[in-house]
Amino acid sequence: MNLRRLWAVARKEALHIRRDPRSLGLAIGIPMLMLLMFGYALTLDVDHVPLVTWDQSGTKASREYLSQFTGSRYFDFCGTVANYRELERAIDRRTADIALVIPPDFAQQLESGRLAPVQAIVDGSDSNTAAIVLGYTQVVTAAFNQQIAIEQIRRTAGTVPVVLLDLRPRVWFNADLKSRNFIIPGLIAVIMGLIAGLLTSLTVAREWEGGTMEQLISTPVKAPELILGKLVPYFVIGMLDVLIAVLMAVYLFDVPLLGSVPLLFAMAALFIIGTLSQGILISTLARQQLLASQVAMVSTFLPAFLLSGFMFAISNMPAAVQAITYIVPARYFVALVKGIYQRGVGLETLWLDAVFLVLFATAAAGLAIAKFKKRLG
């Protein structure tokens, strides 16, 4: 391999990028825009659930029960209703996600030591949110039940029962349980995969469409020199995007970076090399810029978003889909980024994901060079 020829190709590609400032602006601006949009729009936190109540009892006991909800940050009290028709209207209009119906004999049932049924009507159109809201409701009700039971025992026995089980929960790595700390690191991996694939998916196809490929073929430049030369300027842009994304994550979204920064950038470099090579491979096979960009979008963003573990736990997927995730490079990069960001671990724990990332970068670059050789032949 002649480094002088490789550098000449890299310089040619850099000049092309400099002559097209709009593309350069998009290459840097799109990751920032996507990180802002997804970072603020995507959340798994379920707080401030709109709540309406139909208190048919109107007693001190029912008000104390409802105060457990209205005093929680997880519920926003939106008012009362007088009948099921109004309750139905509130759910239909999405002014409330949950409605509590307290029966007229609520206080009497509690005082007599009998079960006092309370109806919780939840909007189940979003099943995940509904399940979380029901969980909140059950926790609040269980705490209220415990208060009533302790009070009844105190009145009848004259003593307060001793609680034998003392649960002291402690959350590691994400003590505040903010979904942003979980989403942003994975989002960096997804966005970098998309941008890197799109950056190079047009390079070789542009040469074919512009009629300059024949000139390149007639030069002494070899396939590895041409492919690697085209990779260099886009690799610099990709690493700049990673730097901007990491700075935004830490200083804009307040996501703590607990692990090694050099390791994070080293793994990002491997992933970008592999994805850039994948884009060049697509460009080599497609020969048309529109087709190449569409294939790059489908083969990078969708698998990274759906099958990498970024948003959806791989362990919850069907066995057949779990098997497919092993050929998605973003799976390993997402695991690496989250491990470095959230757990602060290094290669002693993440070495297997790093090995798969090295294999991906090597295979993608090798295939891009091999297929371009085939075209030249």
Q: How many CB atoms lie within 10 A of CB 148?
A: 16
Token couple for 189: 């991996």
Q: Is the pLDDT of residue 22 over 80?
A: no
Domain endpoint, select from 157, 186, 207: 157
Q: Would you say residue 318 lies in a domain?
A: yes
How far apart, in whole angstroms, are the C-alpha atoms of residue 117 and residue 84? 16
Degrees to nearest 5, angle at CA 199 with 198 and 201: 60
Helix, strand, coil percentages (3-state) for the chain, rounded to 5, are: 70, 5, 25
Q: Would you say residue 24 lies in a domain?
A: yes
User: What pTM does this model have?
Assistant: 0.79
Q: Would you say residue 359 lies in a domain?
A: yes
Do residues 184 and 313 both lie within one domain?
Answer: yes
Average pLDDT over residues 319-345: 90
Residue 31 region by backbone torsions, left for phi larger than 0, else alpha for psi between -120 and 50, else beta: alpha
For residue 190, what are the domain limits?
Answer: 3-43+178-376
What is the arrangement of strands in the sheet containing 49-55, beginning at the earlier edge strand?
A: 75-80, 49-55, 98-102, 119-122
Q: Is the pLDDT of residue 375 over 60?
A: no
Do residues 55 and 9 both lie within one domain?
Answer: no
Q: Is the pLDDT of residue 246 over 50?
A: yes
| Domain count across the chain | 2
Of the ranges 24-28, 197-201, 217-221, 315-319, the best mean pLDDT one? 315-319
Token couple for 182: 């979980």
How far apart, in whole angstroms, are the C-alpha atoms of residue 279 and residue 338? 25
Residue 94 CA: distances (Å) to CA of 52, 99, 174, 377: 11, 11, 31, 63
Q: Is the pLDDT of residue 229 over 60?
A: yes
Q: Would you say residue 167 lies in a domain?
A: no
Q: Would you say residue 304 lies in a domain?
A: yes
* Least confident stretch, 67-81, 187-201, 305-319: 187-201
Residue-level pLDDT at 52: 93
Share the mean pLDDT of the chain: 84
Token couple for 291: 């087709």
Element (H, E) at 51: strand 49-55
| CATH number, position 140 | 3.40.1710.10
Do residues 370 and 226 both lie within one domain?
Answer: yes
Average pLDDT over residues 247-257: 89
111-170, pLDDT tens digit by residue?
887 888 899 999 888 888 888 899 999 989 988 888 887 777 777 776 766 666 777 888
The pLDDT confidence band at residue 9, using thresholds 50, 70 and 90, is confident
Q: How many CB atoms lie within 10 A of CB 317?
A: 16
Residue-level pLDDT at 121: 92
Do residues 54 and 39 both lie within one domain?
Answer: no
Q: Among candidates 363, 307, 296, 365, which has minimal Cα distance to 334?
A: 307
Do residues 37 and 60 both lie within one domain?
Answer: no
Q: Would you say residue 168 lies in a domain?
A: no
Q: Confirm if 296 and 198 have CB atoms less than 8 A apart.
A: yes
Do residues 93 and 212 both lie within one domain?
Answer: no
The pLDDT confidence band at residue 363, using thresholds 50, 70 and 90, is very high
Average pLDDT over residues 295-322: 85
Q: Would you say residue 68 lies in a domain?
A: yes
Q: Would you say residue 346 lies in a domain?
A: yes
Do residues 146 and 70 both lie within one domain?
Answer: yes
Residue-level pLDDT at 374: 44
Residue-level pLDDT at 291: 80
Degrees to nearest 5, angle at CA 327 with 325 and 333: 80
Percent pLDDT > 90 in the chain is: 22
Q: Confirm if 370 and 279 have CB atoms less than 8 A apart.
A: no
Q: Is the pLDDT of residue 61 over 50?
A: yes
Do residues 27 and 54 both lie within one domain?
Answer: no
